[in-house]
Structure 1
Amino acid sequence: MPGAEPGRRRVAALAGAVLVVGSLVAGCSLTGDSPDPTPSGTATPRPFTVMSTDQVRVTDPAAVTDTASAMLTVNVFQRLMSADPGQSALKPDAARDCGFIESPTVYTCTLNEDEFFHNGHPLTSSDVEFSIERAARLDVPGSSATLLSSLRKIETPDPLTVRFVLSRVDTQFGWALASPAASLVDEEVYDADKVQAPDKPIVGSGPFSVTSYAKDEIALQRYPTYVGRNRPSLDAVVYRSVPDSATIEDAMNKGTTDVVWRGLDDAAVTRLSSQAAADGDANTANGFHQSVLTGLRVLQLEWSPTSASRADKGLRQAIALALQGDRTSDSVVPGGVPGHTATFALGGKTTPKVTWNKRIILTLGYDSTEPNGQDIATQVRTRLENTGGLSVRLRPDETGDLTLVDRKAWTATALAWLQPYLAAPLPASAKTVQATENAFRQVPPTDEATANRLLATLQKQTATDLVVLPISQSDEYVYARIGVRLSATSFGPGWQLGLFGLSRG
């Protein structure tokens, strides 16, 4: 039976439209309430500001592949399911409940009542069907859409019920619905066959609505009729992306930012950490409280599936050995994630063997906005060129033969961390990898031993294929101005910054 008809939904929207006033201007999407005017003769107060070097590149959740865009998605859009940061237990969000009720291949969700998008349109099962089918159809490379691979069809017997009929037993399907690509969008605003451009309306149903969007600054305001598990405290937030660490530190000193998330280089972090360590309350000299997120910065090196050099086994082995001395992460699944198995050697003396006759030229892509991105890429290039058989050319903000990735998984599961490898294993390993993944997806949640054995098999295969290489796992830091509270729930399932967890103390 089809979902709610658009005509009926528009009738319902007339009742909900009074909740939110939406309007559009060039390069700007206004999807929430308009702010109160500033009284004549008074200075406009500085908005609550979060600063980072990470730039939001994509505003369509179906196409998100980077950390900052995932952060925006977590705050502006809802998913049927979610999870506490770093936890492996699913929690409902836009859904009241979800589960395998009728059959092990039918995942049924019941939506919350009185859910509305930021533009006042009601959120129904028809929007859910549209959103999930759209993400699976677009299947943007590098997005979390591949997690939906077991979906066969969607049934919507009534406006609040959604049935996901699967092609196989998949106990991990609920996690797919908690990932960015499974975010819910208004079927009357988004194109079913095309990624929404950033200058088009940004319409979700999450804790915050977007009031303006520009390349380096996004203004958000609290959505007053939000229904879900992440109710925000702040009325308005500005997320500002700046060019470098020095700009962030200057803003901290001048008091023009309230929270700093990523972006500070090693020298700045060392200075601030020394100040925090000397202070009994872990506060810095410029008035910020330092929070240490242990082991949350994960760097990996990925081979592009389209690279002509990727098929050379001797080359892959030489590159893995060249990086071993600097490696601090021993698996594609980081330490601390349930199911982690050490599979890559750390340290020691290595002798990469050049098994090819002519010098090979490779490109190395990296994100220039990530902390120390250029320095790390330069170090990787040096290690590779020290083999004597390679010439490596850096490509900032591009994908190369090899790409340095500062990764946050979509959710805190081993399968989410393995996804970049599972999406593009070596052709010779593809059947084995697919069979192992399918077997893992069928394991009941109570059979932890079997699940860990299969995850270990996949991790060992990554160390054989060497197309995704772990480089490092280190701490990440968040700085909140004294008087600003960063709660335990200030993050999404994959430790994306949740603006909904911030408040003034």
Structure 2
Amino acid sequence: MNRKTLVLPAVAGLLAPVLAACGGSDSGSNSGDAIVVGTTDRFTASKDAPAPLDPAYAYDVGSWNILRQTVQTLMTQPKGDGDPVPEAAEKCGFTDSGNERYACTLRDGLKFTNGDPITASDVKFSIDRALAIKADSGVAGLLSTVDTVETQGDREVIFHLNTADATFPFKLSTPVAGIVDPKDYEKNKLREGFAVDGSGPYSLKADVKNGELVDAVFTKNPNYKGTLELHNDKVEMRSFPDADAMGAALEKGDIDVMTRTMSPQQIQKLGNAGSGGDVDLVEMPGLEIRYLAFNTAAPSVKSRAVRQAIAQLVNRSELVSKVYGSQAEPLYSLVPATVTGHSNSFFNKYGDPSVTKAKALLAKADITTPVKLTLHYTTDHYGPATKKEFQVLQQQLNASGLFDAKIQGTPWAAFRPAEQKGSYEVYGMGWFPDFPDADNYLAPFLDKDNTLNSPYANSEIRSSLIPQSRREADRLSAVSSLTSIQDIVAGDVPMLPLWQGKQYVAARDDITGTAYAINSTSTLQLWELGRGVKS
């Protein structure tokens, strides 16, 4: 494969999962025994982030994976990927030719887990609430095209949009659009702590210690009415401090399934085990990306030339080879190579890494070298290989003689609020898409009220290109505007894409449904898991 062009064999959502060993069957039987799932995601309530599981605040893959089990949305992404389909809704669709009026009819007899009926007014309350709170996480930006929400009777909801938005059905499938009970959630205030009440497939019981969720028990919701078929009655999700502890628990039989984030070494070991063990590794395509973000107002990287020089020096192939091996691919755009609208904009502009070209960029801008800066990363959110990844980046920059870079790791609970406040000049982030469309790799970072709280603003992107791309229901017709956005990003470098990753699940061989346990947007689909017979 030509690693520069990053042309993968097929669209990610259409690729079949690859199984090592003998499990991964979709068949299975319900069981009263909880299926225990391990994760290294950490869930902490703090002064800066007191409401980690409120749909109006939560905006990271770990929190969303709890909400997707418990809070129902009007639309949902189907099992095999593709366009979203009705979930709490019986039907939804645009009712005008301009993609500015979207109407949904609720399923008859919807109830919250406590038995209270769900009406159209509850949907309106939930959407209006998220927009009114406008949490600093930036999640309300997904609903930025909503002008007003209208109800007609108990089952009809009409969204009047302030501009055309062909991606709106996808946005209604995300947790920020989750339906919550006005009895449990205040209109203008976030719900602090770890309580979650909705109408999703499961109810949640949270075990909290010292302000941290350590164990989440999902129990089948008898009032659930939607499209999802549950293959179990109960799933327990345990949070581990690191991948080694999670792996040890799987080996001992304390957990049944191991999800994100495993170490590259664990994945390689399990993949090489063949069919001799009682643990199966499932490899599946993913749309996760990693990137460097720049605080373009920070003195050290305020000059575009400095950011361009970093883009000219970073060697993605070496980075991936040394840290992730075959588990990732170099990425030359914020949009993954397998998503419609992707363009290799960074490679087109910078080509292969070059110290000579980077030096010329800095000299032309009269930048004194070496440029001193700190690369910040989170120690506990994106997996155990993150530190090594930043060590490689540091070495690449410093080896040029043009930079004097240091690295600094911080736990996610402190890292995310600090990033939001603009405390970091350069920092590493990951992105697990809200939905599989190029818009979701661009607008959340580049539009107003962006998720990074970035000072970078480009008027052409915000006023023209993003709205233009959203007018196109046929996403192939949006490629031109999407490409233009990516080219501008490559020139200004407010962010620097690094790599696109695969996804893995490891499970004991009596667990079924593992091939669908995670979809392409890294959504945990715990309802797919069942307990069968060991092979």
| TM-score exceeds 0.5 | yes
**CA spacing shift, 1:46–1:383, aligned 2, 3 Å:** farther
Q: Which residue of 2 aligns with 1:316?
A: 307
Paired letter, 2:38: M
Q: Which residue of 2 aligns with 1:226?
A: 224
Matches within 5 A, 1:385-424: 385-387=398-400, 388-396=402-410, 397=412, 398=415, 399=419, 400-423=424-447, 424=450
Give the alignment partner of residue 38 of structure 2, picking from 43, 51, 56.
Answer: 51
Paired letter, 2:495: V
Q: Which residue of 2 aligns with 1:63?
A: 57
Match of 1:129, SS? Answer: helix
Separation in 1, partners of 2:81, 2:495: 24
Q: Which residue of 1 aligns with 2:237?
A: 239
Contact 1:84 1:493 in 2 (8 A): no
Give the alignment partner of residue 143 of structure 2, picking from 145, 148, 151.
Answer: 148
Alignment pair present for 1:470 and 2:461:
no
What is the TM-score when the length of structure 1 is the normalising length?
A: 0.83
Q: Which residue of 1 aligns with 2:327?
A: none
Deviations 1:21-70 (A, max 9, x none): xxxxxxxxxxxxxxxxxxxxxxxx97421001122342112212221111
Contact 1:145 1:182 in 2 (8 A): no
Give the alignment partner of residue 81 of structure 1, picking from 75, 82, 92.
Answer: 75
Q: Which residue of 2 aligns with 1:14?
A: none
**What is the total number of aligned residue pairs between the two structures?**
451
Give the alignment partner of residue 376 of structure 1, picking from 369, 375, 389.
Answer: 389
CA shift for structure 1 position 324: 3.3
Alignment pair present for 1:108 and 2:103:
yes
CA shift for structure 1 position 225: 1.8
Give the alignment partner of residue 172 of structure 1, picking from 156, 167, 175.
Answer: 167
CA shift for structure 1 position 490: 3.1
Deviations 1:289-342 (A, max 9, x none): 111013444212222466454531011112212323437112111111122222
Contact 1:288 1:481 in 2 (8 A): yes
CA shift for structure 1 position 347: 7.2
Separation in 2, partners of 1:468, 1:141: 20
Separation in 1, partners of 2:40, 2:455: 34
How many percent of aligned residue pairs carry the same amino acid?
A: 26
CA shift for structure 1 position 363: 4.6
Match of 1:479, SS? Answer: strand
Q: Which residue of 2 aligns with 1:197?
A: 192
**CA spacing shift, 1:454–1:142, aligned 2, 3 Å:** farther
Give the alignment partner of residue 334 of structure 1, picking from 321, 333, 336.
Answer: 336
Separation in 2, partners of 1:183, 1:471: 32
Paired letter, 2:464: A
Worse overlay, 359-368 or 223-232: 359-368
Match of 1:478, SS? Answer: strand
**CA spacing shift, 1:187–1:310, aligned 2, 3 Å:** farther
Contact 1:410 1:493 in 2 (8 A): no
Separation in 1, partners of 2:180, 2:130: 10
Paired letter, 1:235: D
CA shift for structure 1 position 410: 0.6
Separation in 2, partners of 1:493, 1:101: 29
Worse overlay, 466-475 or 422-431: 422-431
Contact 1:210 1:219 in 2 (8 A): yes
Paired letter, 1:229: T
Contact 2:112 2:223 in 1 (8 A): no
Contact 2:164 2:471 in 1 (8 A): yes
Separation in 2, partners of 1:452, 1:103: 20
Separation in 2, partners of 1:361, 1:422: 24
Match of 2:312, SS? Answer: helix
Note the aligned Cα RMSD (angstroms).
2.4
Deviations 1:219-257 (A, max 9, x none): 111111211112322111111111112112211221111
Match of 1:75, SS? Answer: helix
Gaps of 5+ in 1: 1-44
CA shift for structure 1 position 367: 4.4
Paired letter, 1:350: S
Match of 2:430, SS? Answer: strand
Matches within 5 A, 1:209-288: 209-214=203-208, 215-276=213-274, 279=275, 285=277, 287-288=278-279
Contact 1:385 1:392 in 2 (8 A): no
Separation in 2, partners of 1:349, 1:107: 47
Structure showing greater relative contact order (alpha-carbon pairs closer than 8 Å, 6 or more residues apart): 2
Separation in 2, partners of 1:375, 1:492: 27
Give the alignment partner of residue 479 of structure 1, picking from 496, 502, 506.
Answer: 506
**CA spacing shift, 1:103–1:428, aligned 2, 3 Å:** closer
Give the alignment partner of residue 361 of structure 1, picking from 373, 390, 400.
Answer: 373
Match of 1:63, SS? Answer: coil
Contact 1:62 1:143 in 2 (8 A): no
CA shift for structure 1 position 495: 2.6
Give the alignment partner of residue 463 of structure 2, picking from 420, 434, 449.
Answer: 434
Match of 1:344, SS? Answer: helix
Match of 2:105, SS? Answer: strand
Q: Which residue of 2 aligns with 1:119?
A: 114
Moved over 6 A (4+): none
